Amino acid sequence: MSNVKTLGGRLSPHLSARAIGRPTQDEAEAAVRTLIAWAGDNPDREGLLDTPARVARSYKELFSGYDEDPRRFLERTFEEVGGYDDMIVLTDIRVVSVCEHHMLPVVGWAHVGYLPRNRVVGISKLARVVQGFAKRLQIQEKLTADIAEAIQEVLNPHGVGVVIKAEHSCMTLRGVNTPGSSLSTSRLLGVIRDDPRSRDEFLRTARAG
């Protein structure tokens, strides 16, 4: 464990799987075969022969956030902003994540804003930060907090706001079975939390997105 990096004294989540020993591709495919058999089907029938490999590949994409630190997308900034010091808000960023309780999709939209201090970041990088954190197993509350805190930590703006509204398949496809229901979470930091005018400006823009 001595080579495992930590963030704020916590085990870095995108390195934790390596620390305990990440299974191989073959082991992942064998696990899918076991689930198919457990569900009651024959993993050796024609229609399912390639399914374990497909599932493993799709999971590799869905969980690619474990292989990168989204903070790195914020490292390149720009200081020539012509004196611009108002709020920057990027709305309607597609969110696709996976619920850590049932491993079912969480799909929705994120709205991210910050009040720059003396530098800004390319707008596509905000979307990449959202996507990088989203592609992990987690609850929506943690995803919201991780995005906001990463922007605050790297850019050091006057304030940050993140709002996510998403549909959880663990509720809409099973369990209480409530199609159309969605969960809204927000994390506000700095002046966007403490100053009523800044908070209202961000939330109005996020709602309009």
| Active-site position among 68, 102, 149, 153 | 102
Which positions ≥6 away from 69 have C-beta within 8 Å? 12, 14, 132
| Active-site position among 99, 138, 152, 201 | 99
| Active-site position among 25, 27, 75, 100 | 100
Which positions ≥6 away from 77 have C-beta within 8 Å? 119, 120, 121, 155
The answer to whether 154 and 111 have CB atoms below 8 angstroms apart is no
3-class secondary structure, 134: helix
Q: Does the annotation mark 168 as catalytic?
A: yes
Q: Does the annotation mark 170 as catalytic?
A: yes
CA 145/CA 143 separation, integer angstroms? 5
The answer to whether 56 and 88 have CB atoms below 8 angstroms apart is no
| Active-site position among 111, 140, 152, 201 | 140
Structure tokens at 127: 């979307």
Structure tokens at 65: 């956030």
Q: Please classify residue 51 by burial: count the beta carbons closer than 10 Å to its beta carbon, then call 0-12 exposed, 13-18 middle and 19+ buried.
A: middle
Q: Does the annotation mark 140 as catalytic?
A: yes
Angle, CA 9 vertex, CA 184 and CA 60 arms, to 5°:
60
Q: Does the annotation mark 158 as catalytic?
A: no
The catalytic residues are: 99-102, 140, 168, 170
